[in-house]
Amino acid sequence: MQDIEPFYRWRDLYQSEQDPNSPFYDREYSEFEFSNRVYNYVIHPQWDEFGSPTLYAKIIYADYLKSFAVVELIGEWNDAINNDIMFLKREVAEPLQDAGITKFILIGENVLNFHSSDDSYYEEWFQDVDDENGWIVAINFQEHVLTEFRSNNLDYYLVFGGELDAFNWRKFNPFQLYSEVQRIITHRLG
């Protein structure tokens, strides 16, 4: 897991540690010191911790004019024990929302497992962004994670499945990704 880096091709466009609106503003990263872990496995030092002992994030792009952010995740998403959705919402999403972000693209190909609890934080996050025609999209989560999302009725709050399951998002720049996700959502609603 230490070799899995957050997506870095957009770093010339955006770096969360240089964004005053980012919850990770002014963070310094080591390329040599591996201190964060998912259980017994160290992870690359570029991932940001936000309170969960098993789930880490990287804001790989935020655009405050178009009101969207792209957040890549790694680890185990465990709401049952760690209440990871609370940490993700309070420590990552809310500071971005306070700066005007209403559309979230969550990239989850490195999320290994999902364990649910209740859906109150999902509902709250959905209501926060829906008031301004926002959305929360989950791209490339593994099938067993999506099965857990579905069985816990999170599809009411998160947009996932279909074209978003095997989505080659890396071929896009952030604006193209946003446009493509917006197109998929509009098509589903239309």
In a domain, 99, yes or no: yes
User: Structurally, how many domains does the chain consist of?
Assistant: 1
In a domain, 38, yes or no: yes
Return the minimum-mean-pLDDT range out of 66-70, 128-132, 156-160.
128-132
Q: What is the DSSP letter of 130?
A: H
pLDDT beyond 80 at 122: yes
pLDDT beyond 90 at 186: no
What confidence category does residue 75 fall into, taking pLDDT thresholds of 50, 70 and 90?
very high
Q: How far is CA 126 from the centre of its chain?
A: 14
Mean pLDDT across the chain: 93
In a domain, 157, yes or no: yes
pLDDT score for 173: 97
**What is the mean predicted confidence (pLDDT) over 48-74?**
97
- Percentage with pLDDT > 70 across the chain: 97
pTM of the predicted protein model: 0.95
pLDDT score for 132: 67
Tokens 């098509």, residue located: 187
In a domain, 39, yes or no: yes
**What's the CA gap between 160 and 139, in Å, rounded?**
6
Q: How many CB atoms lie within 10 A of CB 89?
A: 18
In a domain, 121, yes or no: yes
pLDDT beyond 70 at 69: yes
In a domain, 153, yes or no: yes
pLDDT tens digits for 1-29? 667 899 999 999 999 999 999 999 999 88
Q: Is the dihedral of CA 67, 121, 48, 158 positive or negative?
A: negative
In a domain, 79, yes or no: yes
**What's the CA gap between 75 and 63, in Å, rounded?**
25
- Residue length of the chain: 190
**What is the mean predicted confidence (pLDDT) over 62-68?**
97
Q: Can you give the residue range of the structural domain that contains 124?
A: 16-189
pLDDT beyond 80 at 94: yes
Q: How far is CA 127 from the centre of its chain?
A: 17
In a domain, 86, yes or no: yes
Residue 69's domain is classified under what CATH number?
Answer: 3.30.750.24
DSSP-assigned states of every residue in 28-95: ---SS----EETTEE--TTSBP-S-SSEEEEEEEEETTTTEEEEEEEEEEETTTS-HHHHIIIIIIHH
